[in-house]
Each structure stands twice: as C-alpha cells, then as structure tokens.
Structure 1
Amino acid sequence: MSGDASGTAPARVAVPREPAAESAGGFATRLTAPLLLGSLLNPLNTTMISTALVAIGHTYGIGAADTAWLISVLYLASAVAQPVLGKLADALGPRRVFLAGLVVVCASGVVGAVAPGFGWLIVSRLLLGIGTSAAYPAAMAVLRDEGRRVGRRPPRPVMARLSFAALGSAAVGPTLGGLLVTVVGWRGIFAVNIPVAAVAFGCALAWIPADPPRTTSSEEPSPKLALDPLGIGLFSTALTVLVFFLLDLAHPMWWLLGPFAVLTAGLLWWQLRCRTPFIDVRMLAGNGPLARTYLRHGLGYLLIYCVMYGFTQWLEEGRGYSSGHTGLLMLPMSVAALVCSLLGARTKGIRAPLIVACVLLTAGAGLLTVVSGHTPLVVLLIAGACFGIPQGLIGTSNQAAVQEYAPAADIGAAAGLQRTAQYIGAITASSLIALAYGQRADDGGLHLMAGASVVLGVLLVIVTVTDRALRRAGR
C-alpha cells in the first residue's frame, strides 16, 4: 500500500479490459446470491447474540462480565482474520477461501449447539469469527475476477447489495435473536448458522466459477509470500492483551499495559520496515482523511454496540422483559437502520449524514441516562430509534469516505482496516458494558454506560464537524 501525503483523493485506476466474449453482462444473480448469503453471516452473528446473553448467563450461572467474552472473542477473531483471509483469497483463490470459511462456520454452529460448558461457546464464537471473516473479502475478490472476465467494473447495484446485506443483517440481528431464543432457546442462535452456511456452500459450489490461475509478475512479490506473518502475530497478540485488560476494568490488571506497549512498539517498528506490511503505517500517517475515517467508524460503532448489547441486557434484567419482547422492542431500531442505510447509499455527500448520525448518537445516549424501570415504553422505543438511524448512516457514509480517500490500488486492504476499526469499537463497547454492569444489568449500570457514551458522542461530533476534508468529499 502507498499513501497520498496530501490527503487528497487519489486518482481512480480503471479495471483493465481483458478479452472476454463469453458474457457481455456477467454478475448474474446466481453468482451474487451465495456471496450475499455468506457475507451476511458475520454482521448477523455480531448482533443476533445480544438477546441471548442473559439466558446464557442464567444457564451457566455467570454474569454480564463473563458473557461479554462471547462478544469480544468474535470481534477479536474477525479483526485479525478479515485482512488475513482477504490476502489468502488473492493468493489461493476466492472461491476456495469462501468455501473453506463456510465449512468452519458449520463447525462453529455444531460446537455451539451442543456446548456442554461456557468454554465451548467461546470456542464456537472463535471459529465463527474466523469462518465468517472469509466471506466479505472473498466476495469482493470474486466480483473483481468477474469484472476482469467480462471486461468491466462490478456494477454499483451489485456492490450496494453486498453492503446492504451486511448492514441489514446486523440491523435485524437483535429481533431475529429474540425470536430464536423464544422459540427454540439460546442454542438456536448458534445452530441457525448450520443450515444458512450449508445452503451458501451448495450455491457457491454450483454457481461460483472455479478460481482463475493466480499469477504474479516478476516485479511484484508472490501473494503467498506477502502475508507478513510476523506483523499478523504482533497485531493479534497485542490486541488480545488489550482485550484481557479491557474486560476487567473493575479490577484492572495494570501490568498488562507493559506487554501491550512493547508489542505495539514492536508492531510499529516492523510495519515501517516490512516490504509488504500487514498494516501500512506510512499510508495511514500520510493520509489524514482516511485515518480520521477509521477513528469515526470505530467511535460510532462503539456507541452503537453499547446499545446493541448493553441496552438489550438492561431491557431483560433491569426492566424484566423476555428475550422475545426485547427483540420486538429493538425492531424500530432495526427498521430505522435498514431504511437509513438505503437513504445513506443514495446520498451524494458524506459530511451531512455523518453529522446527523453523530448528533443522534449523542442525543440517544443522553436519553438513556434518565431512563429507569418506570420509563414509558414509547421513550424506550424512541431511544432505540436514535441509535438505529445512525447505524444506517454511519456504515454507508464511512464506506463512501474510504472509497474517496483510500489509494485506488489498495481499496480492498483499506476496507479491511475499516472493518477492523469497527471490531475494535465493538470490543471496547463490550468492555464498557462489563465495567458498568458487573454481574447484573441495573439502572445504575445503564446510566454509567450512557454517561460515558455521551462523552464519546460529543468527541465524535467534534471530530466530524472539524474535519475539513469532509466538506470536499462527494462533490
């Protein structure tokens, strides 16, 4: 990856037109259907479990601080696996990586559905994070290969459907999770991945063309040698140490900050010297607009996931609603997110939707600081909607910002880092929830979490409003 020190949008590189008379259209429904089905699994599972955490805790006699690991382990695995599997898709072929990921998803579903203890659920979520992380980067690579075959770029509607599959599945996750917990129990949250992954596997096997030969030029290193295993190891180890520290903020293990600092320094040192770094530090340092996009994305989803997990737990334990009722109460949030993701995709500008989203996130967090067990139901629905609208706008707007500011030749890696920023925000959210709630989600814990979210929301508004690059974006 190479950055643009000026921070301006780099020129777009046209997709080379290769001779291909086999298909004038390409991108048929049969090609995109398994890609969409596989790509929705990761975002769906990130939010679907939110309405099952209390039930899982009751089954194994543990509190919110322990069940938070089910959130963090998936994000930890995904934060590392997404860019790694994207590079593997380039080196080995996207169809192979896509199919292998679905096999791992099926295995995770079996482990979770029959788990005899809580530790097995952790293993299931770890496998799920790795398996589902293959779908999105592999799908992008499949579409790239199809574009080369037919001699044109993937059409915007195809790319929009891929984005909508991710945003939409994440938005409906809490409602679907509540339904599954009510009908079949919390194990259904894990088991539902088996048939979905099996159908996607069968469709991919039948409809996605075989991978074209992976060739490299003499001037470029072989993709098989460009994975930067040392960088991956340093990044994943540093992130794991940070997660261990964050998940017990009530009794912080300060000594962990020492190894984290050493690992982070080692990662930066190596990334500056590696020819094909896992994270291109030079590019990020020289591209301020892109770096600020990652910061906005991580902060935005930190606040969104505080509600996705923290608010839903409070509705069950603090307000006394069942998992099914909680899922229904989150439905306005899901609908608002779906509608606004479509509206955000149609908006030419970036700055205005982001400002609206940031202001609503802050207002929604402020509203949660005053709710209690006696708050009218309509207020709870409004609070959920205040977070649903930003969920739709932030995802599409920051995706457009990445396309605007990232080097054209490295858009895939840049998109992977955007997902990593989102996962780090989610990990931090689960840590904040664990600190606020401890063993039970009560009014005091909700108000503590919401108060911290207000402070972060104000910071997010400032970062967005003062970003001059956003005023030029989308014009």
Structure 2
Amino acid sequence: MREAGEDVEKPVRPPERAGGTEAGPPEIGGRFVAAVMVGSMLNPVNSSMISTALVPVGRHFGAGPSATVWLVAGLYLASAVAQPVMGRVADHLGARRVYTAGLVLVGLSGVAGLLARSLGQLVAVRVLTGVGTSAAYPAAMAMIRERSARAPGGQPAGALGALTIAALASAALGPALGGLLTGLAGWRAVFAVNIPLALVGLALALAWLPRDEPRPRAGGIRGGWSALDPAGVLLFVGTLLPLMLFLTDLARPDWPLLAVGGLAAGALAAWELRVARHPFLDLRMLAANRPLVRTYVRYGASFLVVYCVLYGYTQWLEEVRGYSATVTGVVMLPMCAVAAVCSWTGARRATVRGPLLVGTLAMVAASAALAFTGPGTPMAVLVLVGVVFGVPNGLNAVGNQTALYAQAPAGRTGTAAGLFRTAQYVGAVASTSVIGLVYGDRATTGGLHTAAVVLTALGALLLPATLFDRALRRAGR
C-alpha cells in the first residue's frame, strides 16, 4: 500500500496573471527567487542575530540569562504558532498578500525596538517580529509550488535550494551581524535593522512577485472565513502555547500548564475530526502521511541541537572566554560559509537520505567536541567547532526541506511549510530550556560539557532513525 505523500498530484491551473496581463508558462527566474529569498531570511536572521546581544541587553536592564532568554523564546513562541496560521491564510487568500503584510509588521517591529524602555517591552517587540517574519516562508513555499505547477521541469530544486541557503546563511550570519551592529551602534541596532530590511523586501515583492489569482469563495465572505477554520486555529494556539511555555522552564515544570495544553489538544482533535468542514490541522492526512510527520520530528530534533549551539556556545564564549559580542560573532562566522556551501551542494543533488546521514554524523562529531573545550582551548579550535556545526546546519535543513516539498499535499503547501517551521521552533524553545538547565544564571564550562553530552546522545538517536527511513530514498528528484 502506498504511503501518502509519495506521489503528489499537481493541480492544473489557469495561466498566470501578473500585473494585469496574461502570461505564458511562468519560469522560476532570478527575480522571483530573489524576492522570496529576502523575506524568508528575516525570521532566521532575527532568531540568531539576538544571540550576541543578549549579554549587553541583560547588562542594560540588570537581567541574567534566565530573563534575557525570553527574547529568544518570545520570537520562537510567536513563530511556532504564526507560521502554520500564515500558511493557511496564504493557501486560501493569496500568498503574495500574506507575504507583503508580514513585511509591514517586520518594519513596525523595528520601530518599536527603538522605542522600548523595558525588557518586557523588548520581549513584546520580539513577539511582533516573530509574527511578521512568519509570513514569508510558508507564503514563499506556496508561491514556488504554484509557479512550478505551471512550469516545465518538475520539482524546483534550484528555488528550494536558494530558499534554504538564504535561511541558513542569514541564521549563521546573524551572530556576526548582531555582534557588529551591537559593537558599532549598541544593542538597539539589532532591532532597528529590521526597518531597512523590511523596506527592501517589500519593494522587491511588489515589483517582482506575481499578483495573486482571484480566489473563488463559495458562500461569499462567510464561506471564505469558514474555509480558514478559525475555531481550529484558536484551538491550535491554545494547544501549542501552553505546551511550549511548559518547555521553556523544565527546571520548574508547570504541570497545570501542561494539563491545559492537553485539554486543548483533545478539543482540537474532536473539532478537526468531527466538526470542521475544512480543518486547519488535517489530522487524517497527517495520520496517513507518516513520512511527512517523521520529517517534522527529525527537523525539530536537529534544530534543537543547532540552536543550543547558537545560544549556548555564544554565551559561553562571551561569559567564560571573555570575548566581546563582535569577536564572538566573528568566531561563529565561518559556520555561515560552511552551511551555505553544504546546503547548495545538497540542493544541487536534490536527494534527501545522503545529505541527512552526513549531516547527522557531523552533528554527533561536533557535539562531542564541545565536551573537550575549555578556558584554555585555542581560538582556532573554537572556530573549527563552529565550522563542523555548519555541516549539519546546511545538509539537514536542505534535506528535510526537500523531503517536505515531496511529501506535502498539493494545495496545502503553505500550511505544511508552516508546520515544518513550527517543528523547528518547538526544537528551538526546547533548546532554551536545555540552556537554562545546564547554565542556570550564568554560562559555565561544566554546563557546556553537560549540554555536549545531551546533544551527542540526541544526534546518536537521529542516526538510525534516518538510516532506516525508507521513505527518504523516494523523496527528492
């Protein structure tokens, strides 16, 4: 029996209308790719750019790592919830509309970051940034799916690879950019930089992305609203937020919060399976499409490791080794180049299983290496550790994204891509809890070594899970 997600039937669509004129078969050209790349970079660059500013922000407001970690968790919580919601809206109302609306929110969050006067206000700014940046990736995936469905050539490996490279390069470049901005203009520059980035993205989107096709809505406005399944969205939010908040502080687990999430999950399942005509979270599809679910789990686990390094390693470099934010960013910069090269290589091959196996092996090796670093470790070795972490950062991301594209149902690419990013941020939020557990109020070498053991064990579990997943051999081109 064939598992769902192996063969995806692509819908036949009418000729594209861009700029008010009929167009022939569209191509996924350089302008289109450039426009979707810019917006898709904003979420990952904001997720990592803050890492080298955490210590200066904490000093400014008199707060320790256990408090400033909410600048990380706030964006992750917002992104985890908003990504699939934005994807759902993009699938039904138009991907370009959602894409541009998100860029406007990102620009506003940059202005708000300049005006914030407390750590709590900065956390609220990060939440707004998370919501705004969450629109780009699922909308971009939906636009790529639509465009490739009407263009010859099958799976758009080049566009998917470019999207992955943009995300990885910006995430890896984030610590260096954050360190540079903090060193030159203070930590507020890490927030203000979103203003020009959003303006550039908006200009490119309006100029180079095709206008959305008119969407037929049975039943008028009420029918269109019903198709979004707002009750399902609210129940999804009510499920995910308590569970992720529970994950943020495993040192002092809030069991009533976990119970609330469990009750909301039961209500969500009942609504989507028995009541909703157009379920936001298609549980029957997910139950049948086991390869897609495994991709979500694998992606979330790999990013738990990646973000533990981005935040735990950088804090250790600043607090134990005494490096400035700028120097720490430079130490992490080579990871950017390695991740970009690896993701580009993986995208050109358009395969899944091989890149994932190599990336996971590198993850185990790099995690184990953290256990042997200390106050006397040479700078060259510290840089080399980051370089090795660039391999799984690149290969695992592009391999899992290729699997997602092959396994996601046609017509629901935006929602599926949003859930893909939700899995990433569940892993990211879990990483903040791991950091809090091993460090406490201050980064220490002993805490870094404990984290190394945890990350090495997780990578070792991912190896057989990847090796024996037969669906990965059929994914890709």
Q: State the Cα deviation string for residues 224-245 of structure 1 (Å, max 9, x = none).
A: 3222222222222222222332
Alignment-derived partner of residue 262 in structure 1: 263
Per-residue deviation, residues 171-192 of structure 1 (Å, max 9, x unmatched): 2111111111111111111000
Residue number in structure 2 paired with 1:252: 253
Identity %: 49
Contact 1:7–1:286 (CA under 8 A) maintained in structure 2: yes
Inter-partner Cα distance in structure 1 for 2:246 and 2:146: 42
Given that residues 5 and 287 in structure 1 are in contact (C-alpha distance below 8 angstroms), is that contact kept between their aligned partners in structure 2? no
Letter in 2 for 1:294: Y
Residue by residue, what CA displacement relative to the aligned partner does 1:142-172 show, whole Å, maximum 9, x if unpaired?
A: 4556568889979543443233222221121
1:326-475 matches, within 5 Å, as 326-474=328-476
Partner of 1:70: 71
Number of the residue aligned with 1:82: 83
Q: Which runs of 5+ in 1 are unaligned?
A: none
Query: Tell me, what secondary structure is at the counterpart of 2:45?
Result: helix
Superposed CA deviations along residues 260-281 of structure 1, whole A, max 9, x for unmatched, are 2222222222222233222222
Report the equivalent of 2:282: 280
Q: Please say which of residues 265-274 and 104-113 is displaced more in the overlay.
A: 265-274
Letter in 1 for 2:135: A
Q: Which amino acid aligns with 2:383?
A: L
Q: SS of the counterpart of 2:237? A: helix
Unpaired stretches in structure 2, ≥5 consecutive residues:
none
Shift of 1:12: 3.3
The answer to whether the Cα contact below 8 Å between 1:78 and 1:129 also exists between their aligned partners in 2 is yes
With normalisation by structure 2, the TM-score equals 0.91
- Measure, in 1, the Cα distance between the counterparts of 2:435 and 2:360: 20
Change (3 A) 1:358 1:278: same
- Find 2:6's aligned residue among 6, 9, 15: 9
Give the match for residue 325 of structure 2: 323
1:213 corresponds to: 214
- Distance in 2, matches of 1:290 and 1:328, equals 37
Verify the 8 A CA contact 1:87 1:223 in the aligned structure 2. no
Q: Separation in 2 of the partners of 1:45 and 1:421?
A: 18
Whole-Å separation in 2 of the counterparts to 1:359 and 1:380: 19
Shift of 1:426: 0.6
Instruction: Name the counterpart of 1:293.
Output: 295
Q: Deviations over 1:426-465 (max 9, x none)?
A: 1111111112111111112212222211221121112112
1:249 touches 1:435 (CA, 8 Å); kept in 2? yes
Identify the residue that residue 200 of structure 1 maps to in structure 2.
Answer: 201
Partner of 1:226: 227
Distance in structure 2 (CA, Å) of the matches to 1:408 and 1:96: 20
Of 347-356 and 327-336, the range deviating more from structure 2: 347-356
CA apart distance, 1:395? 0.8
Q: Which one is further off, 19-28 or 316-325? A: 19-28
SS in 2 for 1:408: coil
Query: In the alignment, what sits opposite 1:55?
Result: 56
Contact 1:70–1:122 (Cα < 8 Å) also in 2: yes
Partner residue, 2:95: 94
Q: Which amino acid aligns with 2:270?
A: W
One-letter amino acid matched to 2:407: Y
1:113–1:190 Cα contact (<8 Å) kept: yes
1:47-95 CA deviation, whole Å, 9 max, x = no partner?
Answer: 1111111111111111111111111111111112122122223433333
Is 1:162 paired with 2:156? no
Query: Does the C-alpha gap of structure 1 residues 223 and 217 become closer, same or farther in structure 2, counting only changes over 3 Å?
Result: closer
Q: CA deviation at 1:209?
A: 4.5
CA–CA distance in structure 2, aligned partners of residues 186 and 34 of structure 1: 28
Q: Distance in 1 between matches of 2:348 and 2:23?
A: 32
